[in-house]
Structure 1
Amino acid sequence: MAEKVESSSASAVAVGGKKETKVKEELESAVKTILVEDDYATDKTVEAIRILTRLTELKLKNPSSLGLDDTFLSEAFKCPISGQIMGDPVVLASGQTYDRPYIENWLKQGNLTCFLSKQVLSHSFLTPNSLVRELITRWCEASGLPVPKPRQDVAGEFVTERIQILFNTLLENMSSSLFEQKVAAKELRRLTQISPSNRVVFCELPGAISRLLSPLYESKVESHPDLQENLITTLLNISSHELNKRKVAENPVVIPLLIESMRYGTIETRKNAAAALFALSTLDSNKVIIGKSGAPGALLEVLHGGHPLVMKEAASAITSLCTTHEIRTQLIHMDLAKVIMHKIYDSILVEELLGILVQISTHPIAAFQLREVRTVHCLIGVIRDSNCCLTKENCAVILSTVCKGTRSLLKELWVIEGQEKTLAELADTGTEVAKQMATDLITSISATFPASRGD
C-alpha cells in the first residue's frame, strides 16, 4: 500500500514538473520579448506577471521548494508606498504591485505615473493580485503573524506625513529663485485644488500661509502675474475649507493682499481674490476682520467698474457682508444703492444685485438714495421683462419699501400702471409675497390718487 502511495506521489511530482517546465518556456518567451523590444507594449509585462503567477502557484503546492527566506519575503510583501505588509495587493498598469488604498490615494492626488518606475500609466485600473495575497496569507500563518486585513481608508498618518513633507518642500521654494517659486506655486495650486484634506493639512503647517504669500508682500504683487495668480488661487482653495477660514482671515497679510490683488493682476487673479473674500466672509467672526480692513470699499470699487467676472464675485462677497449691520451701514454710506441701480440700468448682474437691494432698501439712507435715481421706471421694466419669479418678487419688495409715503414715486407708478398694468398682472400671477406687495402698491396709489379708482 505504501508503495502505491509513493508511486502516486512520484507521478504527481512528475506531472507537476512537466507543467512547470512548460510554464517556464512560456515565461522565457515573454521575457525575451520585453528584453529585445525597446517599445514593447504594457500588456507584455502583464502577461509575464500572469505566467509568473502560474509558476508560483505550482510551487505553492510544495511550499518547501520556494527557497525564499523570511527576510526576503517580509520585504517583498511590503507596499512600496506605505512600507507595510499589504492587506489588499493590486497590480497597476505598470505591472508593479501596491496595497490598494495607498495606490488609490496616489492616483487621486492627480499622479499619472507609477510610484516606483515613474512610467506614465496607460490606464488607472487596479487588478487584484490574488497570488501575492495568498503568499502573504501563507507566510503570515507559517510565521505566526496576524494576516493583514484590507485597509479601507488610509487618509491617516502615512499619507498625511507624505503630503506634509511635500508641502514643506514647496513652501521652502517660496524663498528660492523666481523660477522655483513659480514651479512651486503652480504645484501648490494643483494640490490644494484636488483634495479637501490637502487644504486642511496645508493650514496645519507652521507659518504656511505667510510662507505661501511671502513673494507677494516682499515685492509688488503685479510684478509677476502668473506667480500672483497661482498664489492667490491657492489661497482661495484653502479658504474654501471651513476648518481653515478663521486661521486664514486672522493672518495679518491675507486681507491686504486680497484687496491689492482685486485691483491688479490677471482677470483670474482679481476674480479669485474677490472669491476668497467671499469664502472667508461666510464665517461670522471673519466679517468683523474684513469690515475693518477696508475690503468693503474695495469690493464696492470693483462692483462699480470692474470686469464682469470680478464684479460677480464682488457682489457675492458684498451680499455676505451685508448680513452684518455695521458693514451694511458702512456700504450704504458709500452709495451702494446708487452703484447697484446703475448696474441694473445696464442689465448687469440684475438678479444678484436685487438681492442686495432687498437687504439695504429698508435703511433710510439707502431708501433716500433710491428715490434720487430712476428706481421706479427701472424696476417696473425688470418686472415686465424678467421670467424669474424671485426677481419679480424682489423688485416688488423694493418698490413697496421705497415708494410708500412718497407721493412723487407713487405718481410715477400711477402713470406707468395706467399704461402697462404691470402691478395688476403681478398681483394675479406672482409669488405670494409678490402678490401682496403689488396689491399694497395698487392700494397706496388708489388712496393717494382717488381719481385712479376704477381705472
Structure 2
Amino acid sequence: MDPVPVRCLLNSISRYLHLVACQTIRCNPIQTCIGNVVLLLKLLKPLLDEVVDCKIPSDDGLDKACEDLDSVVNEAREFLEDWSPKLSKLFGVFQCEVLLGKVQTCSLDISQMLLKLSESSPVTSSVQGVERCVQEIESFRQEKTVTEHMENALRNQKDDLVAPLDNHDLDIIIQMVGLTSNQDLLKESIAVEKERTRSLAAKSKAKTEQVDQLVDLVLCIREHMLKTEFLEVAKGISIPPYFRCPLSTELMLDPVIVASGQTFDRTSIKKWLDNGLGVCPRTRQVLTHQELIPNYTVKAMITSWLEANSINLAVNSVNQYDAGDASSMANNLGSQDFNRTESFRFSLRSSSFTSRSSLETGNGFEKLKINVPASLCGETQSKDLEIFELSSPGQSYTHSRSESVCSIVSSVDYVPSVTESVPENHQSYSEMSPKKDSESSRNVGHECSVQNLDDSGTMMDSHFTKLVEDLKCGTSKEKTAAAAEIRHLTISNVENRLHIGRCGAVPPLLSLLYSEEKVTQEHAVTALLNLSISELNKAKIAEAGAIEPLVHVLNTGSDRAKENSAATLFSLSVLQVNRERIGQCNAAIQALVNLLGKGTFRGKKDAASALFNLSITHENKARIVQAKAVKYLVELLEPDFEMVDKAVALLANLSGVGEGRQAIVREGGIPLLVETVDSGSQRGKENAASVLLQLCLNSPKFCTLVLQEGAISPLVALSQSGTQRAKEKAQQLLSHFRNQREARMKKSRS
C-alpha cells in the first residue's frame, strides 16, 4: 500500500521547516509557538520516514490522521506567510497557540497509531523509536499560554473578581506580547480594530467573536496602563490619568473632541482615523463624522497644571509628537524628558520545555525576555533575509527578496543558500547563516532515506545515470518517478545538484515540461528549480533552451507548477546573460505579467521577483511596461494585498523609462504612491519617493498632479526620518517643488 498521505505530510513538514528558517518574526510568544510546532514535527518526522520506507505498515486510519495533520501544517505555513509586523500581535498569538494545540493533538494521535502498527513490524528498533516518540509528545507540556492569560484577564474584568491594580494577567500579557510602550499599544489598538473590520467584511462570525474579545482586552489594557503606569514629567511628579490620552496613554498636548464626545490627543486619534477606523476607541460608538474639535477647557487645565508645578517639557520627548501640532500647547518648552515608572512588579516561572524566561530590570520596570533556542527554529538563525540593493545609472533602488524567497520555499522543497542565489558582482546579502549551503541544508532539509546513499549523503553516479536514462527512455510512469526522485534528491544536497546536472538531467527534464500529466510537469519544473540553485546549473538550464518550456508551464500548468516556473525564471535571471535571454522572449515577460495579475498569492510574489530581476536590464523595462504590468503593480500598492514593497520596488525601476512613467500616471498610481510615502515601510517609502522624483523631474504636468495629492507633508516627514537614500530623494523632490514655484512666481511678475 503506497502511503501517499504520509508522503504528502512529509513534504508539507519539510516546506514548513524551510519556511521557519526564513522567518524573522519578532513577537516572542509567536516565536515560542513556532519553535514548539517545529519540535513536535521533528519528533514525528523520523517515524513517518520509516512508514515511507515500509519499515512500519500503514492503514486507512493512519492515512486519515496524516491528512488531518497535513491540513494543520498547511494552516501553520499560511499563518507564517501571511504574518506581518503591522498585524495584531494579540490575534497572531491566539492563532499560533490554537495551531500548536492542533499539531500536538494530531501528532499524538499519529504516534499512538504507529505504536500499534509497529508491533507487527519485524524491525524491533522501530517499536522502540515509536515508543520514545509517544513518550516525548505525551510529556510535552506548556507553561500557561498567553491565550489563557487573555481569558483570565477578560473573565476577571467582567466579573470584577480583582481590583484594576491587581490584574496580574494583564501585566503578564503586556510584557509577553511587547505592549510596554505607548506607541506599541497604539499600534496594537489600531491593528486589532482593523482585524475586526476585516472579519466583518469576510462575514466570519467565529472570527468576529474572537476579535471582539481582543478589542475588549486592548481596552482593558489601556485602562490598566492609565491606572498603573505612572508617567513622570519631573522627579516625584506624575501626570494625572485624566490628562492622558485614553488611546495612547500619553499626555494630551493637543486635546480634541470626537463625535462620541470623548477627548483624545490629536496625534493619536488622527492615526486611528487615518487607518479608516470609524468607531470611538473608548465607547465603541460609530462616529457620525470625523471632525476633531479642540477641547480648550482640557488644554487650559493641562497648561495650568504644568505652570503650577513649574514644569517645562521638551515637545519632541513625548513620543516624538509633531512640533507643529504641539506648538500651540506651550511656547516656552524646556528640555526635560519624561521619565517612566510602573507600579506593577511580577515574576514568571521559566518555561520547562522550550523557552527560557528571565526578568531583566531596566528603565524602572521589569521586562520579560523569552529566548527560543535556535534548534527549535530549523537550527538556523535567520536575520532579515536576502535584502540587497541594486544600482542603475543615475539612481539607486532597494528591493527586498525575503518575501519571494519565503514564497518559493513554501512552494517547493528547498531553501536557497546565500552564496548560490546571487552572482559575485551583486552587492552583499544580509547573512542568513554563516554556514554554507550544504551545512544549513542538512540542518533544516528533508533527510533522504534511499538505501544506496553513501555516508556523505550523496548518491553514486551510477544511480544518477539510471535516473537520467529513465527520464529519456522510460515509460510514462518511470519518467514521472524519476523526475519525482530527482526533485527529492535536490531539495537540500549541494553535491546531488551538481552530480545530477553533470549527468545530463536538464534536457530530459525540460522535455517533461510539455507533458500532459500535470503531476509529471510539476515534478519536472520543481526539480529544475532545485537544480537552478547551483550557479553552474543556472547556465546549463538556460543554454539548454529552458525559457520556452518554462513559459509553456506558466501558460498551461497547475497553480503550483506556475509558481515554481516563475521561481525558476527568478533564479535564472540572477545572471545578466539570462536576463537578456528571458527578456528577448516576449512570451516569457507576458506570461509572468499574467501570473502577476491573475495568479495565486505566491505566484504573484514570484512573478514580481522575476520581473524585478529582469527590469535591472534597461531593454527589458519597456517590454515589461508594454506587457501591461504597471496596471497590476498599481493595484498591488493597496496595503490589503500585502505586496506593496515588491510592487513599488518594480515600479521604481520601470519609472526609469518614459513609457513606464506614462503608464504609472495613466493607471492612477500617484495617489497610492503618495500614500506609500506617508504610511509604507521604510523601503517602500524610499522606492515610492524614487518613483515620484522620476515623475516630477520629467514632466511639469506630473509634478502638478503629485502636489495635488498632498505629497509635501509626507515628503517633509520622510526627509527627516527616512533611510539615508529616502531622505535624499525627499529633499530632491522638495527642492524641485521650490524651484518650480519660484519659476512660476518670476514668470507671473514679468
| TM-score range for the pair, normalised by the shorter chain length | 0.5 to 0.7
Quick one: which amino acid aligns to residue 166 of structure 1?
Answer: H
Q: C-alpha separation between the residues in 2 aligned to 1:287 and 1:44?
A: 54
> What pairs with 1:284-303 in structure 2 (closer than 5 Å)?
284-294=576-586, 295-303=588-596
For 1:435, the equivalent position in structure 2 comes to 727
Query: What's 1:239 paired with?
Result: 532
User: TM-score, structure 1 length as denominator?
Assistant: 0.60
- Select the residue among 446, 456, 462 that pairs with 1:165: 462
Counterparts of 1:346-425 in structure 2, within 5 Å, are 347-348=640-641, 349-386=643-680, 388-404=681-697, 406-417=699-710, 421-425=713-717
The structure-2 alpha-carbon separation of the partners of 1:439 and 1:182, relative to structure 1 and needing over 3 Å to count, comes to same
Q: Does 1:321 align with 2:614?
A: yes
Task: Say whether residues 1:255 and 2:553 are aligned partners.
Answer: no
Amino acid at match of 2:484: K
| TM-score normalized by the length of structure 2 | 0.38
The unaligned stretches of length 5 or more in structure 2 are 1-119, 129-441, 746-750
| SS, match of residue 729 in structure 2 | helix
Q: CA deviation at 1:429?
A: 1.6
Q: Residue 304 of structure 1 corresponds to which residue in structure 2?
A: 597
Larger Rg: 1
- Please say if residues 250 and 289 of structure 1, whose CA atoms lie closer than 8 Å, have aligned partners that are also in contact: no
Shift of residue 114 of structure 1?
Answer: 6.8
1:237-286 deviation per Cα after TM superposition (whole angstroms, max 9, x unaligned): 1111001111111112x221111111222222111111111111112222
In 2, Cα distance between the equivalents of 1:297 and 1:427? 37
Question: Percent identity between the aligned chains?
Answer: 27
**SS where residue 244 of structure 1 aligns?**
helix
Distance 1:358 1:203, change over 3 A: same
What letter is aligned with 2:634? M
SS at match of 1:404: helix
Q: C-alpha distance in 2, partners of 1:302/1:114? A: 40
Q: Find out whether 1:268 has 2:560 as its counterpart.
A: yes
Q: Conserved in 2, the CA contact under 8 Å of 1:302 and 1:314? A: yes
CA distance in 1, matches of 2:544, 2:697: 46
Q: How many residues align?
A: 308
Deviations 1:206-247 (A, max 9, x none): x42222343444xxx3x2111111111001111110011111
Q: 1:405 to 1:180 in 2, by over 3 A?
A: closer
Q: Deviations 1:300-333 (Å, cap 9, x if unpaired)?
A: 2222322221121111111111121222232233
Tell me: CA distance 1:315–1:191, structure 2 relative to 1, closer, same or farther (3 Å): same
Whether the 8 Å CA contact 1:109–1:191 is kept in 2: the answer is no
Match of 2:447 in 1: 110
Q: Which amino acid aligns with 2:607?
A: A
The 5 A counterparts of 1:195-234 are 195-205=493-503, 207-217=504-514, 221=515, 223-234=516-527
Q: Which amino acid is the alignment partner of residue 703 of structure 2? A: L
Instruction: State the distance in 2 between where 1:43 and 1:353 align.
Output: 51
2:462 alignment partner AA: I
Q: Report what 1:34 is aligned to.
A: none
Paired AA for residue 179 in structure 1: K
Does the C-alpha gap of structure 1 residues 433 and 42 become closer, same or farther in structure 2, counting only changes over 3 Å? closer
Query: What are the equivalent positions in structure 2 for 1:133-144 lying under 5 Å apart?
Result: none
State the distance in 1 between where 2:683 and 2:634 align.
18
Change (3 A) 1:255 1:163: farther
Match of 1:332 among 625, 631, 634: 625
Considering only aligned residues, what root-mean-square deviation do their CA atoms show, in Å? 3.4
In 2, distance between residues paired with 1:355 and 1:329?
A: 16
Higher-RCO chain (CA-CA 8 Å, sequence separation at least 6): 2
C-alpha distance 422-224 of structure 1, shift in aligned 2 (>3 A): same
Match of residue 574 from structure 2: 282
Please state which structure has a larger fraction of its residues in helix: 1
**Preserved contact between residue 572 and residue 578 of structure 2 (Cα < 8 Å):** yes
SS of 1:403's partner is helix
Pick the structure with more strand per residue.
Answer: 2
- How big is the shift at 1:439? 2.9
